Amino acid sequence: MIDFLEKLIDQSIQKGAEFIDLRYQNNHYNHISLVDGKSRNMVSAIDKGIGIRAFKAGGWGFSFSNKLDPESITKAMQSALKIAKITGQRAKVKFKLIEQPAHQKKISFPQKKKILDVSIDEKLKLAKSLDKQAKEFDPRIVNTNTAYLDFVGDQVLLNSYGTHLEITVNFIRIASVNYAFENGIRQRGFDSIGGTGGYELAESEKTQNLGKNAAEKAIQLLKAAPAKAGKFKVIMDPSLTGVFVHEAFGHACEADAVLAGESILVDKIGTQVGLESVTIVDDPTLEGNFGFYPYDNEGILARKKSLVENGILKNFMHSLETASRLNTQPTGNARSQNYRFVPLVRMSNTFFQPGSWTMEELLEEVKDGLFLEGWTYGYTDPAKGSFTFKCRQAYTIEKGEKKKLLRDAALSGMTLEVLNNVLGIGRDLEFSEGYCGKGGQNATVSDGGPHMAWEGAIVGGLE
């Protein structure tokens, strides 16, 4: 198969293509979804196929096939070449791709206990036990939701620069979402685990208590007071810091958004966008994190890069195309959901670099304000730099101490104002895993940081 694919690439270059890449994948996945202890969805599947891209004169062509015989693959290549020729002729922006070094490597993500060695029955048993422990935690839990997902994918990437990568990817994510109801008040509790690795992730202590922990969070909020609206000094926990850095800032650092004029960071490379204490990093090389990968889906070596360093905007995240158009080098941030999709500029593990403040120092600095934890949903506009996040819960800070538990707090602000209004950055660092949606496809990511204090936060509430 490999010899055939390499010859097909050579033939396509001889026919006038400037660049070709092929992504062959053999993906195994299991997905279990339970609602109130009953199976809502259970899938165990294998998905094989190949995605083919061709580039010519500023235009791309893409085609995929889940039929892997030589005739079907050849037809997919011909289709990609034809589309590239048409789009190249019509392209308003003409550019050449900057040729990249070739990589030849075979890599497997570590697994202490192989995911494929564990039966679907055992995985269903785990999901049911988590759902049951949530339901039995308290009679005020009125709805339970448990989701289990694992993935193992053998992937081969070949391109016309001479790259030949064989990578086995494996990850697990398990989540519990539960709702409590009492006296007309309904509250939500959420907890999850996720990362690259084997089934040992599902056997961790945190996983074994996931349903109970999520249920407990929902029950606690039933007695919480509603948050008051106003302008406050706040401390964000690592989960909320992470969603801010990913959603409000990270998407504005994706170079395709910059080229489209849909980012507040257009023409700001090398300028001060935050205080000197602010450093923001995207690092796909953090093994075990949900956003870990050694090479991106264009065969570019993954690397750590500072998006902001000491308050200065240093880098955007790039694909091969965006880097070529902006006359720089790709950063290893081109990712696709699978062979059916083209790679897009995406984040990996994106986080605030920790500072030196202790929690006691952060609380003393804020003195009187709010301590905000987690998030449930939100909205951002990278072009305008605005954001709103519904917080999972909050506490009042009174005379430098955490006091009263609050519910239904929503945090709003302007992204660059936050970076310039930082009061202190904690010395801790935690990550949260999740899926980032863009262009109709999802990517596994982690985001995080330390506890962080800032002033001028607009908080909406029910009072």
Q: How deeply is 142 buried, as exposed, middle or buried, from its count of CB atoms within 10 A (0-12, 13-18, 19+)?
A: middle
Ranges of each domain in the chain: 2-223, 226-460
The mean pLDDT value for 143-154 works out to 98
Instruction: Locate 207 and state its tokens.
Output: 């996983």
Is pLDDT above 70 for 102? yes
CA distances from residue 53 to 15, 207, 443 in whole angstroms, order as listed = 14, 40, 19
Is pLDDT above 80 for 83? yes
The per-residue pLDDT for 463 is 53
Q: How far apart are the first and last CA of the chain?
A: 65
C-alpha 360: how far from its chain's center? Answer: 31
The mean pLDDT value for 65-90 works out to 96
C-alpha 37: how far from its chain's center? Answer: 29
Is pLDDT above 80 for 462? no
| Rounded-to-integer distance, Cα 159 and Cα 270, Å | 33
Residues 6+ apart with CB under 8 A from 455: 233, 234, 421, 423
Position 282, amino acid: D
| Rounded-to-integer distance, Cα 257 and Cα 217, Å | 37
Rounded to the nearest 10°, the torsion over CA 239, 245, 246, 248 is 120
How are beta strands 401-407 and 225-226 bridged, if at all? parallel
Confidence of residue 263 (pLDDT cuts 50, 70, 90): very high
Please state whether the predicted TM-score (pTM) of the whole model is above 0.85.
yes
The per-residue pLDDT for 274 is 98
Instruction: Locate 347 and state its tokens.
Output: 């984040």
The mean pLDDT value for 428-456 works out to 97
> Is 135 in a helix, a strand, or coil?
helix
Is pLDDT above 60 for 32? yes
The mean pLDDT value for 167-194 works out to 97
Whole-number percent of the chain with pLDDT over 90: 97
Task: State pLDDT tens for residues 235-245.
Answer: 999 999 999 99
Task: State pLDDT tens for residues 307-341.
Answer: 999 999 999 999 999 999 999 999 999 999 999 99
CATH code for the part of the protein at 2-223? 3.30.2290.10
Is pLDDT above 80 for 365? yes
Question: Which is nearest to 175 in space by CA: 211, 149, 147, 144?
Answer: 147
Task: State pLDDT tens for residues 34-56.
Answer: 999 998 889 999 999 999 999 99
Supply the DSSP symbol for 357.
B
C-alpha 153: how far from its chain's center? Answer: 18
The mean pLDDT value for 263-286 works out to 98
For the chain, counts of helices (H) and of strands (E): 10, 25
8 A C-beta contact, residue 264 and residue 384? yes
Is pLDDT above 70 for 287? yes
Question: Which is nearest to 163 in space by CA: 318, 356, 9, 327?
Answer: 9
Q: How confident is the prediction for the chain on average, in pLDDT?
A: 96
